[in-house]
Amino acid sequence: MEEVAVVMWRIWLRRNQLIFENSFMPPKHLINIAREQLREFQMAQVVVEHPNPIRGLLGQVGWVKPTAGSVKVNWDAALDQKKGKAGFGIVIRDEKGEILTACCDQRPHVQVPAMAECLALWKALELCRDLGFCRVWFEGDAQTIVKAVNEEMPDFPCYGSIVLDVKKLLEQKVGWKIQYIHRSSNGAAHSLAKEALKLDTEVIWMEETPACIAECIEIEKRCEKAYEDVASGDANPRNDKDIEA
């Protein structure tokens, strides 16, 4: 019934595109998009429980810095289906939470959300390969893509060839791993992805924080510091505002 509802909704949108934009979507493409959007919606309803009970004191799971000697890469995608354009946001931070590299990029002719997320992940992998990072944690909130990369795919979706390329690259990079995080922990990358939709060319910041995510980065640093204080038993009532932040 869920799939029927989403397909009918996509048929209604296709009708509007045909009338008002003179654009016709092939039925097979419509079905694929409907299924991917349903899968993304279902994944978003899953409640993620963090294994560390201390984290629960701080509310929602926040950004966590990587271990010493590693870098963490947050990636995300934003999609403008009307224009058929995908925006990619990538943030690379060191063990202290400082930005090493940030990137905005975009790709035309993208209609499926899962395809946009997959392309954003591939862009993050390419960027880290070019920069020569050895130990990297890739974090994204696209659970479908992370699961496809880390497990055997039962089917071969439209982004399957990219997933296979990702797996081949990971086989060559022993110190690289890809994991899922909650959307609330991926705010900086998400903001960059939305910013990328406004641009026409790729933009890369080296050891510089983009203005559009400066506030988000500072908030995540404070949350990480508050978590460390609670974990070490150093937190006191005067730090309540930091914890709430």
Going from N- to C-terminal start, the domains of the chain cover 2-44, 55-232
Mean pLDDT by groups of 10 residues along the chain of 245 residues: 90 86 83 80 57 42 82 96 93 93 95 92 96 95 91 75 92 94 90 94 94 89 67 53 48
pLDDT for the residue numbered 234: 58
Token pair in block for residue 92: 């690379």
Whole-number pLDDT of residue 27: 87
- Rounded Cα distance between 69 and 88, Å, is 26
pLDDT of residue 90: 98
Question: Each residue of 183-202: b (16+ CB within 10 Å) or e?
Answer: bebbbbbbbbbbbbbeeeee
Residue with tokens 């975009």: 106
Residue for token pair 């390969």: 129
Pull the structure tokens for residue 85.
Answer: 């354009």
**CA separation for the pair 174, 135 (Å, rounded):** 8
- Is there a contact between 110 and 84 (Cβ–Cβ < 8 Å)? yes
User: Exposure string (b/e) for 108-132, b if CB count within 10 Å is 16 or more?
Assistant: eebbbbbbbbbbbbbbbbebbeeee
Q: What is the 3-state secondary structure (H, E, C) of the chain?
A: CHHHHHHHHHHHHHHHHHHHHCCCCCHHHHHHHHHHHHHHHHHHCCCCCCCCHHHHHHCCCCCCCCCCCCEEEEEEEEEECCCCEEEEEEEEECCCCCEEEEEEEEEECCCCHHHHHHHHHHHHHHHHHHHCCCCEEEEECCHHHHHHHHCCCCCCCCCHHHHHHHHHHHHHCCCEEEEECCHHHCHHHHHHHHHHCCCCCCEEEECCCCHHHHHHHHHHHHHHHHHHHHHHCCCCHHHHHHHHC
Domain 55-232 in CATH 3.30.420.10: yes
Burial of 211 (0-12, 13-18, 19+ CB in 10 A): exposed
